[in-house]
Amino acid sequence: MTTDGPALPDAEYVLPLRWTDDRDLPDLAAYLDRLVGWLPVTVVDGSDDGRFAAHARAFPAAVRHVRPDPHPGRNGKVAGVVTGLRLARADRVVLADDDVRYDLPTLAAVLDRLADADVVRPQNVFDPLPWHARWDTARSLVNRAAGGDYPGTIALRRPALGPEGYDGDVLFENLELLRTARARGGVVRRADDLYVPRRPPTTAHFLGQRPRQAYDSLAQPGRYAAELAVLPAVVLAARRHPRVLLALAGAACALAEVGRRRAGGAARFPASADLLAPAWLLERGVCAWLALVLRATGGAPYGGSRLPRAATPLHELRTRAGSGPGRHAAPAATDGPAPGRPAPAPRHALETA
């Protein structure tokens, strides 16, 4: 830390946290020690009392460490995000999961993109890269080719969600946040060329995420229909034309390579992740059917409860926003800039989910 004040005093970093295991506490505390030299930091900590106290001792004194305020819904992360935004002292805010690791140039760059946007979503890259992170990288590459990945961090202008925040009773809270901002007339921009490292989960956590991530697709019917079709297509090809399986695998690898090469990604993602795209798509095809079972039996398990809804349809959020207060008045029919803003980036860089 320097004595000249933070490099980005007109922004704030908000980290929602709820841990049941403190094995990564030294790494997180070291990261926060760097962060507070760049901008103010707020950690909204929903961990149990013992861990909350341990975190308070480990975090730098300059970190504002608080409990989440009550917020409707069963997704506790949303309460942390909404609390952090309510407490933020700056208009520009970076929201990030506990496994995200910005450096100063990337942090400054993602905040600069808010000059003509209300929300910016960069691209996460795993560092280090154990086998399961390489497998999950295949998912990111396919997503990049098909319309954009969903990272564990975004930058936004604090009023983008309005005073009530966003729905805390959905599983895919990341998508819910983005849709809420769009529904209020905000510009949501992808930043596929801004790469933010994140720590990979444990192998056990990775395995536990498989059904939950497939359940998220229920919020995107077109994508979900395609995922449901994967398993029948593979079974049919295996029975009638086994050689077609090679063609399908090759197409999956090619799709992943398109995502890898987008926006300079070839320098950031290993080519070996392309080869895992067929396996990841098969996994998603199986888990997509499992998601139907979960939906029929009460929803996806999360935080000790079940969440039936993945996210709210955009048209429904627009209807709600049209009758509610907020900086963005009635939602625009297209993704145009807020009044007084410069023209946004080309349409391919705007959020379409």
- Model pLDDT for residues 169-189, shown as the tens digit of each residue: 999 999 999 999 999 999 999
Tell me the residue length of the chain: 353
Residue 305 structure tokens: 């409860």
**Residue with tokens 């949501």, as numbered in its chain:** 188
Instruction: Give me the mean pLDDT over the 6-17 stretch.
Output: 95
Q: What is the pLDDT of residue 309?
A: 97
Confidence class for position 339, pLDDT limits 50, 70, 90: very low
Whether residue 26 is preceded by a cis peptide bond, meaning omega within 30 degrees of 0, is no
- Model pLDDT for residues 29-70, shown as the tens digit of each residue: 999 999 999 999 999 999 999 999 999 999 999 999 999 999
- Model pLDDT for residues 271-318, shown as the tens digit of each residue: 999 999 999 999 999 999 999 999 999 999 998 899 999 999 999 999
> How far is the C-alpha of 1 from the C-alpha of 37, rounded, in Å?
5
Contacts of 164 (CB under 8 A, 6+ apart): 324
> How far is the C-alpha of 194 from the C-alpha of 113, rounded, in Å?
10
3-state secondary structure at position 62? coil
Confidence class for position 322, pLDDT limits 50, 70, 90: confident
- Asked if 60 contacts 83 with a C-beta cutoff of 8 angstroms, the reply is no
What kind and span of H or E run contains 124? strand 119-126
Going by C-alpha positions, the residue among 95, 91, 137 that lies closest to residue 115 is 91
- Asked if 187 contacts 115 with a C-beta cutoff of 8 angstroms, the reply is no
> How far is the C-alpha of 30 from the C-alpha of 7, rounded, in Å?
18
Confidence class for position 349, pLDDT limits 50, 70, 90: low
- Asked if 84 contacts 45 with a C-beta cutoff of 8 angstroms, the reply is no
- Burial label for 260, CB within 10 Å (0-12, 13-18, 19+), is buried
Residue 283 structure tokens: 């996994």
> How far is the C-alpha of 273 from the C-alpha of 260, rounded, in Å?
9
> How far is the C-alpha of 37 from the C-alpha of 3, rounded, in Å?
9
Q: What is the pLDDT of residue 6?
A: 83
Q: What share of the chain is helix, strand, coil (3-state, %, to 5)?
A: 50, 15, 35
- Model pLDDT for residues 196-232, shown as the tens digit of each residue: 999 999 999 999 999 999 999 999 999 999 999 999 9
pLDDT surpasses 80 at 326 = no
Confidence class for position 244, pLDDT limits 50, 70, 90: very high
- Model pLDDT for residues 94-148, shown as the tens digit of each residue: 999 999 999 999 999 999 999 999 999 999 999 999 999 999 999 999 999 998 8
Q: How many angstroms separate the first and last alpha carbons of the chain? A: 40
